[in-house]
Amino acid sequence: MSQDLKTLKQEYLEYIEIERGRALKTVENYDRYIRRFFVFSGAKVIPDITEEKIRKYRLELNRAGLNRRTQNYYLIALRQFLKYLVKRGFKVIPPDTIELAKETQRDLSLISSVELERLLHAPKGDEIKVLRDRAVLELLFSTGLRVSELCALSRYLDWSRDEISVRGKGGKVRPVFISPGAKSAIKKYLDKRGDTDDALFIYLGRGAKRAETESGSMRLSTRSIERLVKQYAIKAGIDKRVTPHTLRHSFATDLLHNGADLRSVQALLGHASIATTQIYTHVTDKHLHDIHKQFHGKDRK
């Protein structure tokens, strides 16, 4: 069997796309991550992948100013590639010897319930663009969708139902549930649409023609949704950074504050691991302060 790493990398990328059902964007990212190691290390064949070269590569990633989460993306891709080679019967260094960088706990971008209400009510008027923007905000909070998942939605789903299916990371399908407010906002928006584009959320005005010319669709991009949310946060007088992911955080913390269990929230968010969902637990532990105040030190005078 050929030990040429360029060939094996291409076979691995085809494997994760076809056999593992990874999204094209994921495949592109893995290609970039693994290629960076090859370029840095000069590795051409399997024996060129050594523990010493991986150690120096980790130093390179750290000194390049990448945060630890991003460093781990590169290391995980390399580790998964080595696991694939083991599966193929090649002799390589043990993949699990590649330790990941220890990540600091992520700070959640949260807004208060009052700020959330101001944000959801910031789009005012009956123009189609305003109706679209209101539907975007309502749907983000109602479902906890990732912005990429939101952008991929079709207008021709049955928006009169309380539930739709969404294909998320890794091609996994999960149910998401639509609140009455989100359903109403989507209906008002779609009733004003005069086009036949498949996308639920589209560019309007001059941007629509440019988008259709460039891509064949008027579908809004993730970047446009991010700008939209930012603009309405400013309009709502929220003096902190607000993104579509902020509404995803609000969705999760709202569920937990109201008694949902962590496993259910994990399923609704589409997290592959419960460890990812656990970033929200400290947000919902405010009741511990009340317990401490109520029960601690009662016998002291």
Whether 184 and 42 share a structural domain? no
More confident residue, 111 or 134: 134
Residues in contact with 12: Cβ distance below 8 Å, sequence separation at least 6, in sequence order: 30, 34, 81, 84, 85
The reported pLDDT for the residue numbered 297 is 62
Whether 63 and 173 share a structural domain? no
300: pLDDT strictly greater than 60? no
Name the active-site residue from 79, 132, 146, 249.
146
Residue 49 three-state SS: coil
Band (216; pLDDT cuts 50, 70, 90): low
Name the active-site residue from 129, 167, 245, 257.
245
The reported pLDDT for the residue numbered 298 is 61
What domain range is 33 assigned to?
5-97
Per the structure, the count of domains in the chain is: 2
Whether 31 and 176 share a structural domain? no
Whether 81 and 127 share a structural domain? no
Report whether 275 contacts 104 (CB < 8 A): no
Q: What is the DSSP letter of 279?
A: G
Whether 53 and 138 share a structural domain? no
Neighbouring C-beta atoms of residue 69, cutoff 10 Å: 12
Give yes or no: 292 in active site.
no
Whether 219 and 144 share a structural domain? yes
Give yes or no: 245 in active site.
yes
More confident residue, 216 or 175: 175
Name the active-site residue from 118, 167, 169, 257.
169
CATH value at residue 71:
1.10.150.130
118: pLDDT strictly greater than 90? yes
Does 21 fall in a domain? Answer: yes
Does 64 fall in a domain? Answer: yes
Whether 132 and 229 share a structural domain? yes
Name the active-site residue from 22, 219, 248, 249.
248
Does 237 fall in a domain? Answer: yes
Give yes or no: 280 in active site.
yes
Does 211 fall in a domain? Answer: yes
Whether 135 and 93 share a structural domain? no
Q: How far apart are CA 225 and CA 133, in angstroms?
A: 9
The reported pLDDT for the residue numbered 25 is 83
104: pLDDT strictly greater than 70? no
Q: What is the pLDDT of residues 258-295, one digit of tens each?
A: 888 889 989 999 888 888 888 777 666 666 666 666 76
Whether 198 and 235 share a structural domain? yes
Whether 132 and 278 share a structural domain? yes
Q: What is the pLDDT of residues 143-176, one digit of tens each?
A: 999 999 999 999 999 998 999 999 888 778 899 9
Q: How far apart are CA 142 and CA 149, in angstroms?
A: 13
Give yes or no: 263 in active site.
no
245: pLDDT strictly greater than 80? yes
Whether 62 and 136 share a structural domain? no
Does 294 fall in a domain? Answer: no
CATH value at residue 160:
1.10.443.10
Does 103 fall in a domain? Answer: no
Does 165 fall in a domain? Answer: yes
More confident residue, 108 or 262: 262
Whether 278 and 131 share a structural domain? yes
Q: What is the pLDDT of residues 45-89, one digit of tens each?
A: 999 999 999 999 999 999 998 888 899 999 999 999 999 999 999
